[in-house]
Structures are given as structure tokens and as C-alpha cells.
């Protein structure tokens, strides 16, 4: 360490090989799990139980709705048998509810105590309980703080919100927990915070259209179609309800089946008789849908290609830094809304010791995202390394404001205020060590 330089914090510094090979600028969470046979077997058992339970519930709901329709009962069972089946079904339902109520009381215990424990869980975190084993069974993980930040953000930007996937920056400024969540853990609150009232109205309009189409599918005359639509729409509604309290819609393995079942429900909507005018309207609509699908595909391809370029730059910069910078610039052009490529370019330049290039990249990142605590911290450290103490202190103060719980930024600011030089190598090592230790969700 140079004379007069400061160690940013007491975190352990990674080895040179780890520092060289890791990608601290990657958006992928840093946690890695080494699972053995026992863990895999437990996950397999849980998945099997969840699938069987989902199948049983879907069949039960579909049968209940189908038997609730007189035309369906008469077609399947005949009037007399249908009447007896309806009576039997009602008795079974009442008995099932009674058993469920008694079982819930036995499991939950004192309702008042249970409610108090649930409220403490809602306000608490996994850290306070020592593990995250109960993630799916409790409302912990500081959700009350996540929701508060979402509502405060919506109050500040009620019409358009702060932009899709910008919740994390808002939480770094307003949150009180040590976690750094990317999502509000609730799609309704996340929609309000990030898309504002206008975006929320669009979502409500879409849900209304879905509900109207689903109601038409459930009024169809085909008994099998009604049963299938009932089970599929129940699964999708369950997905929406659960998504109001967690962020699992980001997992394709969960979201894709839910939307596939929604598509199955919409496909069962009875077709109307087509007229000549309706055919022309249908052709125009089909053309509009094709155009919209093309634009949507392009909007997904460009960010995906940008991420590929960023990943390639992160792997190849030690051998060919100029080519890596070209990839960074191409990625930034492909995804003009993201500061990520510039953050990667700045990190590469810091590692190479070209501070002028690094500062330009981080400045460009701040143009796209003025609330980037990482870019602001790095610019402050670069200014300190260049001897511009006044500018370094101003930037580091801004970094602390953007993430008030960042001990690394706070330590760097204190060092700069004492007249010491912030060690960029040590700063990068501390940031890397923290990223490996802390995941985001």
C-alpha cells in the first residue's frame, strides 16, 4: 500500500487469481451452493410434492366448477345421479372445510399469538432468525421495509414511477435493512413504484381483459373445456396472489407455466361467427400483432446481445483490452437504457490502471443512471488517486447519500476527509469481497 493511502475496511482481500478471474460487475448474484446427494433428494421430494398438490387442487377445482353447472351435470351424469352427486359434493366440501379449520387451529395454536408472530416475521429479516430456511413459509426478509420504500417512491413519482427495474437504486437511498433487493417483493407495489399510475392502469386494463376472456371460457358449453379452463385460471390466479408477496415471477420456471396456462384458458374462449367485416378486422389485427411481436423480439434481442458483449469483454480484456473496449461500446449502443456496459468498461479500465478511461466510462454510466452508487464511488476514488481532494470528497459524499448503509463508501469518505489517498486496488478488492458475501433478490 502506498504511503498515505487508506485501507477501505477490514474485509479480507481475495487472492490475485480470484481478483483477476472474478467479474464483480456481473449482474449475476455471487452466491454459489455446492449441493450433495442429500440436498438434491430433498429438492426432488419437494418438487414432486408440489406438483402432485398442484395437480390435485387443479382437478378438484375443475370438477367443482364443472359439477356446479347444471348442463354439465346432466350431460355427464344424468339428472338423478347429478342431484345425488351435488348433495354428496356439498357434504364433502363442508366436512373438508371443518377438518381444515380444526387442523389449522391445531397447527397454528393460539390465533392471537400466531398473528403476533406473523407480524414480527413480516417486519423482521432472515438475518435476525439466523437462516433463510423459512423463506417460502414466512413474510420475513424485511418486507415491511421493502414495501415502505415502494410506497414512498410511488408518492414521489406518482404518474410515471422511477422506471422498470430501478427499485434497487431507490432502496439504497431509502432502505434501512442491510439487504440490497432488486425487487419490491410484490408485483402490485413494484408496478406502482416503477411504472406509476399510468403503468398500473395499463396492468389493470390487461387484467380486466383477461378476466373477461376467462369468464367467457367458463361459460362455454363444452364440459371438458370448462373444466380445463377452470383449473388453468385457478393456477394463474394463484401465481398472481403469491406474486403480491414475493418476487418469484422473475424465475422463468415459475412464470412460464403460469402464463402458458393463461394462454390455454384464452384459447378455450368460444369463437364468434365471423363476418366479412370481421375478417378484414382480423387480418389487420393479425398484421398489427406480427409487427408488435417483431418489435418485442428486437427489444429482447438487443439487451441480450449487449449482455453477451459485456460478458465477452469481461473474459478477454487481459489479453486484448482494446477489443474489450470495442465490445463495451457496442453493448452500450445496443442497450441505450442501461448503464451496465459503462460500469464494466470503467471497472476494466481501473484494473488496467488507465484512470482517465475509467473516469470517462463511469461518467457515461452516471449520465444513464445518475443514482449509481458504484459509479459515483469509483469516480470519487479516482479523483482521490489523482490528487483532486475537493472533488473526491464531493463525489464520495454523494456515494454515501446514494447508499447510506455502504460501509466501504463511508470509510473512503472518512479517509479522503483526513487527507489520505483512497487505494483503488484495495477498494476494488473490498467491493469484490462484499459482492461474494452478499446476494440480491
Instruction: In whole angstroms, give the CA distance from residue 335 to residue 61.
Output: 45
Specify whether the CB–CB gap between 19 and 433 falls below 8 A: no
pTM of the predicted model over 0.85:
no
Q: Percentage of residues in the chain with pLDDT exceeding 70?
A: 76
Q: Is residue 10 part of a domain?
A: no
Angle at 349 between CA 18 and CA 407, to 5 degrees: 65
Q: Is residue 293 part of a domain?
A: no
Q: Is residue 69 part of a domain?
A: yes
Q: Is residue 118 part of a domain?
A: no
For 331-362, letters b (16+ CB in 10 Å) and e give bbebbeebbbbbbbbbbbbbbeeebebbbebb
Same domain, 327 and 429: yes
pLDDT digits (tens, 9 = 90+) for 133-165: 444 445 556 888 899 999 999 999 999 898 888
CATH number of 306's domain: 1.25.40.10
Mean pLDDT of 316-326: 94
Neighbours of 44 (CB within 10 A): 10
Same domain, 303 and 417: yes
Confidence of residue 306 (pLDDT cuts 50, 70, 90): very high
Same domain, 74 and 152: no
User: Which residues contact residue 135 at a Cβ distance below 8 angstroms, ignoring those fewer than 6 apart?
Assistant: 126, 141
Specify whether the CB–CB gap between 147 and 155 falls below 8 A: no
Q: Give residue 239's domain range.
A: 139-270
Same domain, 165 and 208: yes
Instruction: In whole angstroms, give the CA distance from residue 336 to residue 407.
Output: 31
Specify whether the CB–CB gap between 195 and 160 falls below 8 A: yes
Same domain, 254 and 314: no
Which of 88, 109, 130 delimits the end of a domain? Answer: 109
Same domain, 72 and 143: no
Same domain, 164 and 266: yes
The total number of structural domains in the chain stands at 3
Give, in order, the Cα–Cα distances in Å from 68 to each of 62, 214, 418: 10, 17, 77
Confidence of residue 181 (pLDDT cuts 50, 70, 90): confident
pLDDT digits (tens, 9 = 90+) for 346-373: 999 999 999 999 999 999 999 998 989 9
Give, in order, the Cα–Cα distances in Å from 296 to each of 80, 217, 375: 54, 28, 30
pLDDT digits (tens, 9 = 90+) for 25-83: 333 333 334 455 676 777 778 778 877 887 887 777 777 666 666 555 566 666 677 67
Q: Is residue 116 part of a domain?
A: no
3-state secondary structure of 157: coil
Q: Is residue 306 part of a domain?
A: yes
Same domain, 185 and 259: yes
Q: Is residue 414 part of a domain?
A: yes
Q: Is residue 35 part of a domain?
A: no
Backbone angle region of 165, left / alpha / beta, with phi > 0 → left and psi within -120 to 50 → alpha? left
Same domain, 154 and 252: yes
Same domain, 60 and 101: yes
Which of 68, 88, 109 delimits the end of a domain? Answer: 109
Same domain, 391 and 321: yes
Same domain, 161 and 84: no
Amino acid at each position: 500500500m502506498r504511503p498515505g493511502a487508506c485501507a477501505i475496511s477490514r474485509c479480507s482481500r481475495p487472492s490475485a487469481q480470484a481478483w483477476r478471474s472474478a467479474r464483480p460487475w456481473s449482474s449475476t448474484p455471487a452466491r454459489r451452493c455446492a449441493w450433495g446427494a442429500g440436498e438434491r433428494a430433498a429438492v426432488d421430494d419437494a418438487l414432486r410434492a408440489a406438483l402432485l398438490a398442484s395437480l390435485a387442487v387443479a382437478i378438484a377445482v375443475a370438477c367443482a366448477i364443472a359439477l356446479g353447472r347444471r348442463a354439465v351435470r346432466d350431460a355427464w351424469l344424468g339428472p338423478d345421479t347429478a342431484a345425488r352427486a351435488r348433495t354428496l359434493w356439498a357434504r364433502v366440501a363442508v366436512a373438508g372445510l371443518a377438518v381444515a379449520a380444526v387442523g389449522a387451529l391445531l397447527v397454528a395454536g393460539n390465533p392471537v399469538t400466531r398473528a403476533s408472530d406473523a407480524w414480527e416475521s413480516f417486519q423482521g429479516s432472515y438475518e435476525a432468525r439466523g437462516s433463510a430456511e423459512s423463506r417460502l413459509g414466512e413474510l420475513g426478509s424485511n418486507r415491511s421495509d421493502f414495501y415502505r420504500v415502494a410506497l414512498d417512491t410511488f408518492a414521489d413519482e406518482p404518474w410515471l414511477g422511477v422506471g422498470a427495474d430501478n427499485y434497487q437504486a431507490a432502496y439504497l437511498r431509502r432502505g434501512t435493512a442491510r439487504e440490497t433487493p432488486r425487487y419490491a417483493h410484490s408485483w402490485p407495489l413494484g408496478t406502482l413504484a416503477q411504472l406509476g399510475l399510468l403503468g398500473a392502469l395499463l396492468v389493470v386494463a390487461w387484467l380486466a381483459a383477461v378476466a373477461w376472456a376467462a369468464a367467457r371460457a367458463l361459460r362455454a358449453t363444452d364440459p371438458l373445456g370448462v373444466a380445463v379452463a377452470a383449473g388453468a385460471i385457478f393456477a394463474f390466479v394463484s401465481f398472481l396472489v403469491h406474486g403480491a408477496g414475493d418476487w418469484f415471477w422473475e424465475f422463468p420456471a415459475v412464470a412460464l407455466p403460469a402464463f402458458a396456462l393463461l394462454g390455454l384458458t384464452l384459447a378455450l374462449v368460444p369463437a364468434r361467427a365471423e363476418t366479412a367485416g370481421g375478417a378484414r378486422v382480423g387480418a389487420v389485427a393479425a398484421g398489427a400483432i406480427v409487427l408488435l411481436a417483431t418489435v418485442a423480439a428486437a427489444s429482447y434481442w438487443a439487451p441480450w446481445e449487449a449482455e453477451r458483449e459485456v460478458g465477452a469483454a469481461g473474459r478477454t480484456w487481459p489479453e486484448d483490452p482494446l477489443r474489450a473496449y470495442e465490445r463495451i461500446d457496442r453493448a452500450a449502443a445496443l442497450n441505450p437504457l442501461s448503464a451496465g456496459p459503462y460500469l464494466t468498461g470503467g471497472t476494466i479500465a481501473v484494473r488496467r490502471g488507465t484512470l482517465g478511461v475509467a473516469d470517462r466510462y463511469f461518467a457515461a454510466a452516471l449520465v444513464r443512471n445518475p443514482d449509481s452508487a458504484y459509479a459515483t464511488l469509483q469516480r470519487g476514488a479516482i479523483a482521490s488517486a489523482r490528487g483532486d481532494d475537493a472533488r473526491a470528497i464531493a463525489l464520495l459524499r454523494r456515494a454515501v447519500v446514494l447508499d447510506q448503509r455502504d460501509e466501504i463508501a463511508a470509510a473512503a469518505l472518512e479517509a479522503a476527509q483526513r487527507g489520505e489517498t483512497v487505494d483503488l486496488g484495495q477498494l476494488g478488492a473490498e467491493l469484490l469481497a462484499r459482492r461474494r458475501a452478499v446476494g440480491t433478490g
